[in-house]
Amino acid sequence: MNITIVGAGATGGYFGARLAASGLNVTFLVREKRAAQLREKGLVIKSVVEDLTLATPQIAINAEDIPACDLVLLGLKNYQLAASLPQLKVLVNRGAKILPFLNGVEHFEILAKELGQENVLGGVCKIISTLDSEGTIHHTSKVHQIIFGELEPSGKEFCLGLEQAMAKANFKVKYTENILNEIWSKYAFIAVFSGVTSAGDLTTDQICAHEATVKVYRRSLEEMKSLADAYGVALSEDFVEQNVEGLPKYAKGSTSSMHQDMRKGLLLEVESLQGAAIRLAGRKNMELPTIETLYGLIKPYEMGSVE
């Protein structure tokens, strides 16, 4: 199977490198700056599971230079999606399917509209990884999993083949016929986890130290679960309790990637997470008062600094 990874950052770079090491034909479609970095140093992963270095990863700057592609793994930030669409169209026109790992749910509508619903798969990834200034990927948890499934019945055969193709890679692979549940479960969690940590400038242990703050966390989870229900996705009955009870289990000082980005003055995905929840609720004539509050507190930092 020929796979193209759009971006070689903390997510795409990690899974792409593992797939390449397993013997699959993997090309990294990257910008010139990242390409120069990869040519000079290779693709380097420092992992609690297993370190890996691809000395000469297969690189492309333009999709036109990729002769064959069966699958595109999309590991971008939501604010990078629009700029990537022309490249994605080239690959889809050559027969590729798109497997996105973006946060949230709105990107599925965009991809389906621009590339055709039949060409888009559903997927989520679970990993804690970062990219340092030297281009090295640091994988700091034993969690590393890809979960995927078809959004249209016609995609099932491809997904089953993909499950087999990825079987030898050094990360967990799961195919599911209920991918929407996985997508919404992750979205609901991230919208709350990123929202409370970022809006309050809080780590998990700081949240746990105050019952009033835990109450905000709980109410946010309840609102997101209700939103999923409104869209026909039934999250597990213990979704709220499971996530509240999971807070004290994080290592001291743990926080969300959005909160880390806020601290660094980077762009934030507030529109794709909290903003999207508000828009989706509006379609169903629902209100999410706690999520709306989190959104209002984070929004001024969206562009990296308060104007």
For the chain, the domains span 2-177, 181-301
Residue 183 CA, distance from chain mean position: 10
Q: Characterize the bridge pairing of strands 43-47 and 52-54.
A: antiparallel
Any idea which residue has 């013997």 for tokens?
23
Query: pLDDT at residue 201 above 90?
Result: yes
3-state secondary structure of 65: helix
pTM, rounded to two decimals: 0.92
Query: pLDDT at residue 115 above 70?
Result: yes
Q: In sequence order, what are the residues at sequence separation of 6 or more whose Cβ sits closer than 8 angstroms to the Cβ of residue 81?
A: 74, 102, 107, 110
Mean pLDDT, to the nearest integer, of 268-295? 98
Catalytic positions, please? 186
181-301: CATH topology is N-(1-d-carboxylethyl)-l-norvaline Dehydrogenase; domain 2 (1.10.1040)
Tell the burial category of 94 from Cβ atoms under 10 Å away from its Cβ (0-12, 13-18, 19+): middle
The CATH number given to 2-177 is 3.40.50.720
pLDDT tens string 182-193: 999 999 999 999
Question: What string of H, E and C letters represents the secondary structure of 155-206?
Answer: HHHHHHHHHHHCCCCCCEEEECCCHHHHHHHHHHHHHHHHHHHHHHCCCHHH
Rounded to the nearest 5 percent, the helix, strand and coil shares of the chain are 50, 20, 30
Query: pLDDT at residue 280 above 80?
Result: yes
Query: pLDDT at residue 307 above 80?
Result: no
What share of the chain in percent tops pLDDT 90?
A: 91
Q: How far apart (Å, rounded) are the C-alpha atoms in residues 207 and 210?
A: 6
3-state secondary structure of 242: helix
pLDDT tens string 135-179: 999 998 889 999 999 999 999 999 999 999 999 999 999 999 999
Strand (E) or helix (H) holding 1: none
Instruction: Say if CB 74 and CB 114 are below 8 A apart.
Output: no
